[in-house]
């Protein structure tokens, strides 16, 4: 994608894709009069359930709030799953891995909650860009690793 189009990716998403269900949530949301909340799902380890958590959080929060899910993982797993899902969802999705644009997450309008799925790398530029913008950090950790410990 040309750079000038990439730079407008998040803005384009908020202008064009807030779903019908999102617009109808405006009056229900307790958060609508406040700046939106940013929830970043992260863990330096791979395969611990970040994408699963981010997608399910987005769908659950979308029951009462206008939600944007940002797929900041170059693997694009959330986007891959959403594109292949035959179910309609109550939130909007945008794929964005550019650190400069990700650092502007707080400037996004028309949403109550922005959920961010991140790559499994603590040294990722995308992660470094979104963490300072976070109101909440969600760290999925498989319980079985603790249960199976014998020491």
Ligand X SMILES: Nc1ncnc2c1ncn2[C@@H]1O[C@H](COP(=O)(O)OP(=O)(O)OP(=O)(O)O)[C@@H](O)[C@H]1O
Nearer to ligand X, 99 or 120 (CB): 120
Stretch that binds ligand X, among 12-20, 23-31, 45-53, 96-104 (CB under 6 A): 45-53
Nearer to ligand X, 49 or 99 (CB): 49
Q: Give Rg (Cα) of the chain.
A: 16
Does residue 79 interact with ligand X by CB under 6 A?
no
CB of 26 to Mg ion, least distance (A): 30
Does residue 47 interact with ligand X by CB under 6 A?
yes
Residues 103-122 that bind ligand X (CB under 6 A): 120
Encode the chain in three state secondary structure.
CCHHHHCCHHHHHHHHCCCHHHHCCCCCCCCCCCCCEEEEECCCCCCCCHHHHHHHHHHHHCCCCCEEEEECCCCCHHHHHHHHCCCCCCCEEEECCCHHHHCCHHHCCCCCEEEEECCCCCCCHHHHHHHHHCCEEECCCCCHHHHCCCC
64 binds, among Mg ion, ligand X, none (CB under 5 to 8 A by kind): none
Does residue 52 interact with ligand X by CB under 6 A?
yes
Does residue 49 interact with ligand X by CB under 6 A?
yes
CB of 64 to Mg ion, least distance (A): 25
Stretch that binds ligand X, among 3-11, 41-49, 95-103, 106-114 (CB under 6 A): 41-49
Which positions touch Mg ion (CB under 5 A)? 50-51, 77
Residue 75 to residue 120: CA distance in whole angstroms? 10
Q: Under a CB-based contact definition with an 8 Å cutoff, are residues 109 and 28 in contact?
A: no
Residues in contact with ligand X by the rule CB under 6 A = 46-52, 73, 75, 77, 120
């Amino acid at each position: 994608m040309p750079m000038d189009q990439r730079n407008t990716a998040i803005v384009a998403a908020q202008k064009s894709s807030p779903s019908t269900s999102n617009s109808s949530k405006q009056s229900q949301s307790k958060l609508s009069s406040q700046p939106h909340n940013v929830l970043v799902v992260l863990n330096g380890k791979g395969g611990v359930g970040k994408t699963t958590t981010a997608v399910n959080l987005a769908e659950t929060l979308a029951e009462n709030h206008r939600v944007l899910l940002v797929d900041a993982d170059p693997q694009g797993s959330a986007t891959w799953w959403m594109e292949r899902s035959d179910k309609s969802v109550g939130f909007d999705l945008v794929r964005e891995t550019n650190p400069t644009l990700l650092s502007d997450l707080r400037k996004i309008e028309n949403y109550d909650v922005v959920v961010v799925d991140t790559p499994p790398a603590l040294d990722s530029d995308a992660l470094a860009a979104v963490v300072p913008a976070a109101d909440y950090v969600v760290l999925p950790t498989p319980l079985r690793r603790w249960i199976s410990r014998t020491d």
